[in-house]
A and B are shown apart, each in its own frame.
Chain A
Amino acid sequence: MKRDVVTSIIGILVLTLFCGILYPLVITGISQVAFPGNANGQRVYVNGKLVGSKIIGQNFARQEVKNGKPVVDKSGNPVTVADPRYFQTRPSATVPPNNGAATTFSNLGPNNIATEQAIASDIKAYLALEKPYDPGLTAAKVPVDAANSSASGIDPDISIANADIQAHRIAAVRHLPMSTVMHLISHYIAGRGLGFSGEPGVDVLQLNLALDRMTGARG
């Protein structure tokens, strides 16, 4: 008994040093030398300023301003509207949307009225934003990823179908030929892992920054 207690106490301490300090430090050391870009979060800078991470989704929206003051909702979070100059990421359950420091699932059940309402309102918002530029668009044609919230709340990707629909708006707002926008989308498609694992998606931040480089952020 006494022997087990002594061994356990020493054991847990030395194993903590080995597994909890040494192991993460070694991995950090190697990662920082071998893959510094990835290990530090694939940061993206524009004019020397950090604008995000390549693999973390963002909310491409503008702060709503009324009488010169930013509008906030009941809980004090800023009210935003989608910025039509940019491709939009998937719906997000975090507060505020696409919060990179407090991720959460929507946790909406498959048979719940709350879920149906959330999806219906996402479809409505999507149609309101895209239909003026893509008159043939109906609720039945909305890709599922555009009206279902992502898991992480910061999904960086949208489906190709979703990007193709939004391309109509981007072309019109940015005064670009449709073919240019479609070409740009194809450039930012991330394929499947090893050619089979997962689904292809379009990285929204990189696509939007490429648009800004092409036409200037003013649009």
Chain B
Amino acid sequence: MTFLGWLTIFLFVTILTLLAMPLGRYMAAVYAGERTFLDPLFRTPERLFYKVMRVDPKREQDWKAYAKSLLIFSLAGWLLLYFILRTQTLWNWTGLNPQGFHSAPWNVTFNTTSSFVTNTNWQYYGGETTMSYFSQMAGLTVQNFLSAGVGISVAVALIRGIVGRSGKSIGNFWFDLIRTVLWVLTPISFVVALILVFQGSIQTFSHYLSFNGPTGLANQLAMGPVASQEAIKELGTNGGGFFNTNSSHPFENPTGFTNLVEMLAVLIIPAALVFMYGRMAGNRRQGYAIYATMMVMFLGAVCVAYIAEAHGSPAQHAAGLHTQAIAGSAGGNMEGKEQRFGIAGSALFDVITTVTSCGAVNSAIESFTGIGGAVPMANLSASEVIFGGVGTGLYSILLYVLLAVFIGGLMVGRTPEYLGKKIEAREIKLVAIGLLITPLAALFATALATASSAGRASISAAATGPQGFSESLYAYLSQANNNGSAFAGYGGFVQPNAGSIGSHGITFADLLGGFTMLFARFAPILFALAVAGSLAGKRISPAGLGTMRTDNPTFVVLLIGVIVLVGALTFFPALLLGPIVQGLTTHLY
């Protein structure tokens, strides 16, 4: 651990908060249809989109109509993406497949398509050995925007349900989607992409470069339109790398500065949404309370991961490597980490992308120490509510807020109320099911994958002992929570030699993962929208003396307690079997 490492964490959190507050104010205006400084730029394209799509953005939708639009649009996106990925060579005329890559087999493509449409971006393929530039741009990048747009729309709709005063409407899906793409995602991606190129990311349609290095060894460089995809990959908390090694690849993340920019891009919208919520609820302190809850849990995770990684791993110590900081080297567990990011830059990045549903990595999570690796798993176990994915994080934590209000109401013996609306049996049933779907999907899939030989075929040869279980658990935790990071030894796509086309998919892993992602994405969305619809019609009664406050430190503590309790009760036994047992021993397996 170093002073600069801690300083990085402190400065990051400060910059994040300072940027997220104004963005939250801006986004509240965007979804209320109020004037913003980008209106002159986007009003015309917005009208064009509505016209071509035959949408009346003013038409109010109840939760069922909203959900129907959302599901049909996601299905259309799924079908188009699957088609593009499976017909990769059909698009060679565009000149955007300079390496002549063939499509991945159907099972891998099923997994990949489900993965990008659900904002997961779990990757059973290696980007630079599988995907043409056309697939990356017109296929994957598009879903990076749209799956993020869908997530944010659901959050906005749930907020409208909670704070709405009239009738059953929770807004209009097409309005929310188009506004998110135009006013939020496009301008920020634009700026981030150019910063990345300015710092050294590539953005080109060139074929791969063959060259001989100074010693005469032949080598090849993968190229591509990287920066544009990298920017929205972080901003939309998608996480699917252009290259196999994701944000550790120097073309994706060239410097310590871009590492900082990318971390900010990941967290900026999830953080801003919380402030936006406070404004939309007409009481900014409601937003601050949720922000405080998230920040406390986030900082806890960062500290544990940083300390664990700086300490080093049992394998390093057994091999005789000294992991203390010395002059000119910060030490620590550098297996699977890049020199330019160091321990703090890697631990912080990986906590950020696992608390959110981003899942980008700038280091190999599989090589993290037992405790260091338990942190991302614990983040996933908390159902992605510590900031969470764009939109998904906010709507999930709002469900937890309702649960906490309910539990608090039981403790003091009053009918639970949230922002003046009574929380009744129907809402609590919807909330409870909505919150338990994801953990159930994760555990059920993990059990199937570890109990069957078809599932165990995915475990990498080097992952002996608890590591093999950790790989499996991580894979399904990640896919169920739509995160997409991985203990990357876990395979669903076998490449006999790196770069070979003659590879095949592991159908079991591809299908189980694909269905897990789809189910755990859309089922909770339906429940969140149903809660929104249920609350939308309720009368708001003024707060009285006995009303439990939801904007003070007591509530923050209660909320953290509820989140930890649900996560711990559900996942603690599984976590014990994998990462924690490794963290508690120096034994090698």
B245 interface residue (CB < 8 Å to A):
yes
Interface-lining segment among A5-13, A129-137, A169-177: A5-13
Say whether chain A's binding surface is mostly helix, strand, loop, or mixed. Answer: mixed
Please provide the chain A residues from 135 to 188 with a CB less than 8 Å away from any CB of chain B in the complex.
139-145, 147-164
Q: Does A215 contact B (CB under 8 A)?
A: no
Complex contact A10–B245 (CB within 8 A): no
Q: CB-CB contacts of A90-133 with B at 8 A, as 1s and 0s? A: 10001100111111111111111111110110010000000000
Bound form: Cα–Cα A111–B316 in Å: 9
Which residues of chain A have C-beta atoms less than 8 A from B463's C-beta?
A: 107, 109, 112
Give the nearest-CB partner of A36 in chain B: B204
Which residue of chain B is the closest to A106 with respect to CB atoms? B336
Say yes or no: A101 contacts B322, CB within 8 Å: no
Q: What is the bound-complex CA distance between A13 and B53, given in angstroms?
A: 10
List residues of chain B with CB within 8 A of the CB of A150: 248, 336-339
* Nearest-neighbor residue (CB-CB) of A192 within chain B: B256
Report yes or no: A40 in contact with B204, Cβ–Cβ below 8 A: yes
Considering the chains assembled together, what is the distance between the CA atoms of A13 and B221 in angstroms? Answer: 33
CB interface residues, B 161-218, toward A, < 8 Å: 174, 181, 186, 189-190, 193-194, 197-206, 208-209, 211-217
Contact of A40 among B76, B202, B368 (CB under 8 A): B202
> Which B residues touch A158, using CB under 8 A?
339
Taking a contact as CB atoms under 8 Å apart, the answer to whether A20 and B142 are in contact is: yes
Inter-chain CA distance A164–B248, complex, in Å, is 25
Name the contact of A110 in the complex, choosing from B73, B80, B137, B315 (C-beta under 8 A): B315
B315 cross-chain contacts in A, Cβ below 8 A: 108-113, 115-116, 119
For chain A, give the interface size range. 35 or more
State which of A7, A110, A117, A140 has its C-beta within 8 Å of the C-beta of B69. A7
- In the complex, are the beta carbons of A16 and B80 less than 8 A apart? yes
What's the minimum C-beta distance from B75 to chain A, rounded to whole angstroms? 7
B499 lies within 8 A of chain A by Cβ: yes
User: In the complex the two chains form, is B257's CB within 8 Å of A194's CB?
Assistant: yes
Given A59-B213, A192-B256, A11:B364 Cβ within 8 A: no
- Evaluate contact between A107 and B488: CB separation under 8 angstroms: yes
CA distance A10 to B316 in the complex (A): 55
Residue of B nearest to A140 (CB): B322
Which of B225-233, B274-282, B506-514 lies on the face that meets chain A? B225-233
- Return chain B residues, CB-CB under 8 Å to A152: 243, 245, 248-250, 338
Given contacts A24-B228, A62-B215, A102-B499, contact A164 B76 (CB under 8 A): no
Beta-carbon contact of A102 and B128 below 8 Å = yes
> Nearest chain-B residue to A111 (Cβ)?
B582
Residue of A nearest to B205 (CB): A28
Given A103-B245, A145-B339, A154-B249, are A14 and B54 neighbors across the interface (CB < 8 Å)? Answer: no
| Alpha-carbon distance between A94 and B345 when the two chains are bound, in angstroms | 23
Contact A192 B4 (CB under 8 A): yes
Query: Which residue in A5, A58, A113, A201 is a CB contact (below 8 Å) of B340?
Result: A201
Distance between A100 CB and nearest chain B CB, rounded to angstroms = 4
7 closest A-B pairs by beta carbon, nearest first, are A198-B256, A193-B256, A161-B328, A193-B257, A199-B342, A151-B248, A160-B328
Please report B residues at the A interface, Cβ cutoff 8 Å.
4, 7-8, 11, 45, 49, 52-55, 68-69, 72-73, 75-77, 80, 126, 128-129, 137-139, 141-142, 144-146, 174, 181, 186, 189-190, 193-194, 197-206, 208-209, 211-217, 219-223, 225, 227-229, 231-232, 243-245, 248-251, 254-260, 312-316, 318-323, 326-343, 345-346, 361-364, 366-370, 372-373, 460, 462-467, 470, 487-489, 497-499, 582, 585-589
